[in-house]
A and B are shown apart, each in its own frame.
Chain A
Amino acid sequence: MSKDEKDILTGLEGLEKMPYRIPEGYFDGLEARIHARIAEKDVPARRRPLRDRLFRRTAYLSAAAVLGIIAAGGLLMLRNTVQTDDYGAERYAMYQDVDIIPVTVPESVWLSSYDEEASDTLSTEDIINYLVYIGIEPEEFDNE
């Protein structure tokens, strides 16, 4: 922005001056305050007392021991629950089939996995068993 063009920011004398006072003597004591702050910040960098260091080391060791116990327990449980046979392999193979069969004909997925005899039609015995199962007395369905 050219200062030759006169506008509200350039037209008035002294607008660029800071309109604030500084407390009297502020800069005189500044150097001492800075050095005091530097000295103060140097304190935490010093070596901690032996007792503190030992306490910290014990705390780390305790935490490591607890973590070790948890990890060992977890491994033991895992070892007891892992199946060594091919459990689920058959089902996994079926899902693989599902992936390669087009989703536009979903019934082909299920029909292909059924036993043909079982999925054909319901026998009279199946219907009777079902009616008994849902609580209908044999006398009632004999009348139907």
Chain B
Amino acid sequence: MTDDREIMSIYRSGDRDRAFRAIIESYRERLYWHIRRFTCSHEDTDDLLQETFVKIWTGLPDFREDARLFTWIYRIATNETLNFLRRKKTHGMANAEPLENILYRKVDDDPYFNGNQLQRELHKAIQKLPPRQKAVFNMRYFEEMPYNDMAEILGVSAGALKASYHHAYSRIKEELQKIF
């Protein structure tokens, strides 16, 4: 795996294709899981992941390095995913079915699920969170991302993120304690 500094030096040397290949190789798995925690579906994740890389490719010439490559890439992936959820929510309103219900059901129906009951309930409880709170919880709990990085990605202060995470954590714990 190539680190960000190396990727940027390849890019600066003018080899845009090789830099892009290095980005795909370095970020594909991390971004896959980052997106999948929101969508609860391999197919939606695949589509969003490809779209994210297309956006990275088209945005690379404008990337001025005032942000770190890592936060820039994660911001694209997170925005892409949150927009997708927003579109789904609007569509759900037309069908009179809340998005949370759809995602909740997807956890149960996912043919690729191979965890235990507690994991299943944890992921179902996460689906009940509002999208941005879900982003905060996922990035902190699963990816153990520092608050400062999250602040750069989500454009929110670290203090607000801590409060948001605390709130999400308490809600999920409460949900799980009802069952276990």
Task: Give residues in A with beta carbon < 8 Å to B.
Answer: 1, 7-9, 12, 15-23, 26-27, 30-31, 33-34, 37-38, 41
Q: Do the beta carbons of A8 and B177 come within 8 Å of each other?
A: yes
Task: Please name the residue on chain B nearest to A40 by beta carbon.
Answer: B54
Q: Which residues of A contact B21 (CB under 8 A)?
A: 31
Let me know if B37 is at the binding interface, CB within 8 A.
Answer: yes
Given the interface pairs A18-B142, A19-B123, the reply to whether A30 lies near B169 with Cβ below 8 Å is no
With an 8 A cutoff between CB atoms, is B57 at the interface? yes
User: Chain A residues with Cβ under 8 A from B114's Cβ?
Assistant: 19-21
A21 pairs with B173, CB closer than 8 A: no
| Inter-chain residue pair count (beta carbon < 8 A) | 73
6 tightest A-B CB contacts, nearest first? A19-B115, A19-B119, A21-B112, A34-B53, A1-B169, A20-B112
**Whole-angstrom distance from the CB of A96 to the nearest CB of chain B?**
52
Instruction: Give chain B residues whose Cβ lies under 8 Å from the Cβ of A16.
Output: 141-142, 144
Interface residues of B in 78-116 (CB under 8 A from A): 110, 112-116
| Residues of chain A within 8 A of B122, CB atoms compared | 9, 15
Decide: B53 and A23 in contact? CB cutoff 8 A. Answer: no
Taking the closest CB of chain B, its distance from the CB of A16, in whole angstroms, is 5
Chain A residues with CB under 8 Å of B141's CB are: 9, 16
Q: Mark B115-143, 1 if CB is under 8 A from A, else 0.
A: 11011101100000000000000000110
Interface bracket on B: 35 or more
B38 contacts partner chain A, Cβ-Cβ < 8 Å = no
Of A15, A18, A20, A38, the most chain B CB neighbours within 10 A belong to A20
For residue B141, which residue of chain A has the nearest CB? Answer: A16
B158 located at the interface, meaning its Cβ lies under 8 Å from any Cβ of chain A in the complex: no
State the CA gap A11–B141 with chains docked (Å). 13
Interface flag for B165 (CB, 8 Å): yes
A19 near B53: Cβ-Cβ < 8 Å: no
A37–B52 alpha-carbon span in the complex (Å): 11
Instruction: List, in ascending order, chain A residues with CB within 8 A of B57's CB.
Output: 34, 38
Please determine whether B180 and A1 come into contact, CB atoms closer than 8 angstroms: no
| Cβ–Cβ contact B53 & A18, under 8 A | no
Residue B72 CB within 8 A of the other chain: no
Judge whether B53 and A22 touch: CB under 8 Å: no
- B contact residues around A31 at 8 Å (CB): 21, 24-25
Which of B6-14, B27-35, B149-157 lines the interface with chain A? B27-35
**B53: which A residues are within 8 A, CB to CB?**
34
The answer to whether B142 and A19 have CB atoms under 8 Å apart is no
Kindly list chain B residues whose C-beta atoms are within 8 Å of the C-beta of A12.
118
